[in-house]
């Protein structure tokens, strides 16, 4: 009968911007050295962000905790050394000099993983970057290229009422945040 190994969550500190590469590299090293049964999961928490490029919505994933990688493993024996020897790994979060890595408390893990689940659920979460009275340029739709000022911000409908001069007359347009950019 195989012994039951308790695995805890730890946080690896890594060079920001390299998280996914480092995660793959750690996984490869651990597998190559035959320790994959000691590591259950390696996670780079991501959030979905919506960007507008040339009037098109682009869903991108962005690292939620830059410079941190979560790992669920039994960090005993050689494993901490293997992970630390990976290029661009700085060390473990909360470890004391020469001491063992400190596992995350269950509450912290749930909060972080809960946040990750929440972030994957709400893709269209866009903060309201506009205020009344601001001048904006319409970048999408039939009035593309027109400039105007924001009269109202409707948070529920995620719409703006923008006053635009059309043929010398001020006309209110209802536009989404995606259709305008600040001047």
Q: pLDDT tens across 15-57, in order? A: 999 999 999 999 999 999 999 999 999 999 887 777 777 777 7
Q: How far is CA 31 from CA 6, 7, 18, 100, 142, in A?
A: 19, 17, 20, 22, 55
- Helices vs. strands in the chain: H and E counts, helices first: 3, 11
Query: What are 65-81's pLDDT values in tens digits?
Result: 889 999 999 988 888 99
- Residue 18, CB half-sphere, CA atoms under 13 Å: how many? 13
Burial class (CB in 10 A: 0-12, 13-18, 19+), 4: exposed
Domain ranges of the chain: 8-121, 135-182
- As its CATH architecture, domain 135-182 has Roll (2.30)
pLDDT band per the 50, 70, 90 thresholds, residue 88? very high
Thinking of the domain 8-121, which architecture would CATH place it in?
2-Layer Sandwich (3.30)
Contact residues for 28 (Cβ-Cβ < 8 A; gap 6+): none
Q: Report the alpha-carbon distance of residue 166 to residue 84 in Å, rounded.
A: 63
Listed residue (88, 68, 85, 84) closest to 22, CA to CA = 88
Please give the average per-residue pLDDT across 155-162, as a whole number. Answer: 84
Give the pLDDT of residue 1.
Answer: 47
CA–CA gap between residue 81 and residue 91 (Å, rounded): 10
| Per-chain mean pLDDT for the chain | 84
Cα(157)–Cα(76) distance, integer angstroms: 52
**Cβ contact 75:100 at 8 Å:** yes
């Amino acid at each position: 009968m195989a012994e039951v190994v308790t695995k805890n969550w730890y946080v690896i500190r890594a060079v920001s911007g390299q998280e996914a590469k480092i995660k793959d590299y750690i996984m490869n090293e651990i597998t190559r050295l035959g320790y994959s049964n000691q590591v259950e999961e390696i996670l780079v928490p991501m959030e979905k962000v919506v960007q507008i490029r040339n009037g098109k919505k682009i869903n991108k994933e962005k690292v939620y905790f830059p410079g941190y990688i979560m790992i669920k493993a039994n960090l005993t024996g050689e494993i901490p050394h293997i992970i630390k020897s990976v290029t661009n790994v700085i060390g473990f979060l909360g470890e004391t000099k020469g001491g063992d890595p400190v596992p995350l408390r269950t509450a912290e893990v749930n909060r972080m993983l809960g946040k990750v689940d929440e972030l994957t659920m709400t893709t269209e979460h866009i903060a309201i970057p506009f205020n009344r009275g601001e001048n904006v340029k319409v970048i999408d739709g039939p009035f593309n290229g027109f400039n105007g000022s924001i009269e109202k911000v409707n948070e529920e409908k995620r719409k703006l009422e923008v006053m635009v001069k059309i043929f010398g007359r001020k006309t209110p347009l209802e536009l989404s945040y995606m259709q305008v950019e600040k001047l």
